[in-house]
Every structure is written in C-alpha cells, then in structure tokens.
Chains A and B, each alone.
Chain A
C-alpha cells in the first residue's frame, strides 16, 4: 500500500462552516469550507481546534464523512460529558469559523485500486468513515461488491438512514438494532456476533477487505469474529473510539 498520507507540515487552517444538518437527536453533520484544502482519501480524519476567549484551546480528531472530491464534511456524535462535541453539535452554526488541519491517517483508507469485495462494519457513529468509503465507491463507479453491517441502538439513531436505504448496484446494507426496533422490524435485533458475521460477511475465500469502526467492544468482537471466519488479520483494518470526554 502507498505510504505517507501527510506531506510536509500540516498547518492549522481557518475553516468556515457553510451549513449544518442534524442527522439524529445527538448527531450533526457540519460542512466546512477550507481554502487550500489539499483533498483527502476515503477513511481519513482531520483535527479540529476551538479557541475560547481566554485563549484556552481544545483539539479533537473527527472522521471525514464526505467522499474525496466532495465538499468537506464531518459528522459528530454528541457525548454528554464531552467538551468539544457538545459545541459542534449544538452551538456551531453556518458562518462560524473554526480551525482544522489534515487530512490525517493513511491506513484506514480505501482506494478503488485496492479492490474488494469490501466488508464495512460500523458501530454507531463508527459509520462515518465507512460512509465516506461507500460514497466514494459509488461515485467512482467502482463495481467492487460492498456490504455494510451497521449496528445502532434504535432506528432513530441510524445516521444517514435515507442515503443508506437508496438502492445502489452491488451495495448491500444490513442493519442491526440492539436496543429498540420499530413495529414490524424483520432485521437483526442483537449485537453483532459470530453467527451474524457468518451470515452477513463475505466468505474468507472471497478475499474481502474489511474495515471495522466503532466503540472498542464492537471492534474487538467484529475483528475477532472475522479472524475466526478465516479473514487474515492483515485484511481487517480497525478504527476505534471509546474515550470519554470527546
């Protein structure tokens, strides 16, 4: 795989918020205009820095939600005890300026030349970088088969639900709802386990590339489950979050 994702020094740039959209009661998408943004690859993230009036600064990393070539977009989940995410999901509005630098990360990245099939497994807001990969796969006209297995607490917590329900050739989206589900729901209603992976994941012989993103316990379970199905560890890329205080 090609190496460096970061060329030269990454400098902080001033971004202007062009619009915001509430995806769920606790998740918001923010579009950012960054003059001179060098472009990004699907799966990368960026850093955000906020500055208070007394000069105090807080920095966090967020996955990029948009595909390469699209306007820069991040999708942020509010953590109730967080410092930055409540600001981004409740206070920030169009016209505001914040600082960003990036793009960052070169391993949890997919490019069309890497082929597939692609197994994407998302827990909660772990869907964000996988959505960038999925959009890129569709926009690039790639025919690589994709399956997205997406675990959410309830239907109201599903991010990008409209977009993900739009049919696209070669793309399958499988939801599991772990806490509550609508009347008449016929899909999975439990946490991802080995039996679910055996049903949903490509078979090991199909040499799929897997990208797994979500909270630690989700990623541990899915990554171990895929290795158990015969996926080589080197074909399973993970990105985890699990810290409080974001």
Chain B
C-alpha cells in the first residue's frame, strides 16, 4: 500500500483518454528525444535494410525500399521514461510484408542499427499488422534525431523497442537481449503491464 503524498493532487484526470494511457505514463504533446549517444547520419545512397537468418536473406537499398507498398498508420506511443504521445502518424512498410520475402521459422528478432544500438522483439510482435519500418512522421521524412532515415515502429511495446536508425533484423531461435535490455530494462516491454525493468 503506497503512502499518501501529503499535499499531492496531481493533474486533473482526463477520463476521455484514460483508457489509452498505460499505468505510470503521462500524455505529452512534445516529441521528446532519447538516445544513448550521438545521432548517426547515414547517406540514403549507403542505406540498406537487411533481414538476416531466414531461408532467403534479403537486403533492400533505399530506392528498393521506397518502391515497396507503404502504409500510413496512426498509433499511440509510450516511452519507458513515462511520456505517452497519442495519435502519432507514421508512414512505413509493414514488417508482415518484409518478413514474407525471407521465409523463416524463428521466434525472435534482434534489430540492429547505425550507431550500434540493438533491441530484441519476438517475431510474433512484429507480425499481424503490429509493426513497421517507418520513414515518415507527421507527413514529413523522419528526422534524424527521431531515428531517420528509418526506424522500427512497434507501438504496442515501450518505444525503446522501436529502434531508431534501424538497418535490419537478425532472426534468431533464442531471445538475445539488446542494448537497453543488457542494462536492466525488460526483455519484452509491455507498457500495459508496466514492464519497464528486468523482473517487472
């Protein structure tokens, strides 16, 4: 039982959005930036997206990637540092479509990125219309500090799983922790179960 914080009232509760805000989160209208190091800047001419480990490894150039059918999606996003942003609009390619190219029976994926960042996501969370490789946000190309040219978008998990500057997926039979997961953050990261840290 939590002790009452004397004199703490909190913000007025917004009932209309309460069921869209996971426990411990608050709604922001900004788009905060969090990353562990300098922002990488990769020229589009050198950018590729790869899926490794499937029966047919696949690699797309930026041009090839742009020729794939893209979708525009509007989703809520939840950062483990406690901000949530509602109704964010993205343009990107569905992971269902990308994974269909390679043929796989792996249960896990490790996303890898420019700058050395990695994060692990079960393949089941990347399929079924739940995840994209996004290159547009709010009708514009995705800005570098927000992960451009392209980032993973897995909005039903905490946003560190939506790896910035993503360059590919490594399909795996076992769940290998990525960058933040090695530093004590949760292997799965479901915001609705408040899985922020290891053991949550």
Contacts of A53 in B (CB 8 A): 4
Contact B24 A57, beta carbon cutoff 8 Å: yes
Q: Name the interface residues of A154-181: CB closer than 8 Å to any CB of B.
A: none
Q: Please pick, from B10, B13, B200, the residue contacting A50 in the complex, using a CB distance under 8 A.
A: B10
List the A residue with the shortest CB-CB distance to B30: A244
3 smallest beta-carbon distances between A and B, as pairs: A6-B184, A9-B199, A106-B183
Q: Please report the C-alpha to C-alpha distance between residue A74 and residue B11 in the assembled complex, in whole angstroms.
A: 23
The dominant DSSP class at the A interface is: mixed
Question: Can you give 10 A-B contacts (C-beta < 8 A)?
Answer: A6-B197, A10-B197, A51-B2, A58-B11, A91-B6, A216-B33, A226-B38, A236-B38, A238-B37, A241-B32
Q: Which positions in A face B, CB cutoff 8 Å?
A: 3-10, 12, 14, 49-53, 56-61, 83, 87, 91, 96-99, 104-108, 216, 219-220, 223-224, 226-227, 233-234, 236-238, 240-245
Contact A10 B115, beta carbon cutoff 8 Å: no
Contacts of B183 in A (CB 8 A): 3-6, 105-107
Given contacts A56-B10, A244-B30, contact A233 B40 (CB under 8 A): yes
Contact B5 A51, beta carbon cutoff 8 Å: yes
Contact A51 B4, beta carbon cutoff 8 Å: yes
- Contact code string B129-163 (vs A, CB < 8 Å = 1, else 0): 00000000000000001000000000000000000
Q: Which positions in B face A, CB cutoff 8 Å?
A: 2-11, 13, 24, 26-30, 32-40, 81-83, 115-116, 145, 179-180, 182-185, 197-200
Contact B10 A83, beta carbon cutoff 8 Å: yes
Highest count of chain B CB atoms <10 Å: which of A14, A58, A106, A244: A58
Contacts of A244 in B (CB 8 A): 28-30
The smallest beta-carbon distance between B45 and chain A, in angstroms, is 20
Contacts of B8 in A (CB 8 A): 50-52, 58, 87, 91
Contact A104 B4, beta carbon cutoff 8 Å: no
Q: Please report the C-alpha to C-alpha distance between residue A227 and residue B37 in the assembled complex, in whole angstroms.
A: 10
Contacts of B13 in A (CB 8 A): 56
Q: Please report the C-alpha to C-alpha distance between residue A216 and residue B39 in the assembled complex, in whole angstroms.
A: 11
The smallest beta-carbon distance between B14 and chain A, in angstroms, is 12
Contact B81 A61, beta carbon cutoff 8 Å: yes
Contacts of A97 in B (CB 8 A): 3, 5
The smallest beta-carbon distance between B149 and chain A, in angstroms, is 17
Q: Please report the C-alpha to C-alpha distance between residue A93 and residue B158 in the assembled complex, in whole angstroms.
A: 34
Contacts of B10 in A (CB 8 A): 50, 52, 56-58, 83
Contact A234 B4, beta carbon cutoff 8 Å: no
The smallest beta-carbon distance between A108 and chain B, in angstroms, is 7
Contact A52 B37, beta carbon cutoff 8 Å: no
Q: Please report the C-alpha to C-alpha distance between residue A12 and residue B6 in the assembled complex, in whole angstroms.
A: 18
The smallest beta-carbon distance between A128 and chain B, in angstroms, is 15
Contact B199 A8, beta carbon cutoff 8 Å: yes
List the A residue with the shortest CB-CB distance to B182: A3
List the A residue with the shortest CB-CB distance to B185: A6
Contacts of A4 in B (CB 8 A): 182-184, 198
The smallest beta-carbon distance between B47 and chain A, in angstroms, is 17
The smallest beta-carbon distance between A43 and chain B, in angstroms, is 12
Q: Please report the C-alpha to C-alpha distance between residue A52 and residue B6 in the assembled complex, in whole angstroms.
A: 8
Contact A237 B37, beta carbon cutoff 8 Å: yes
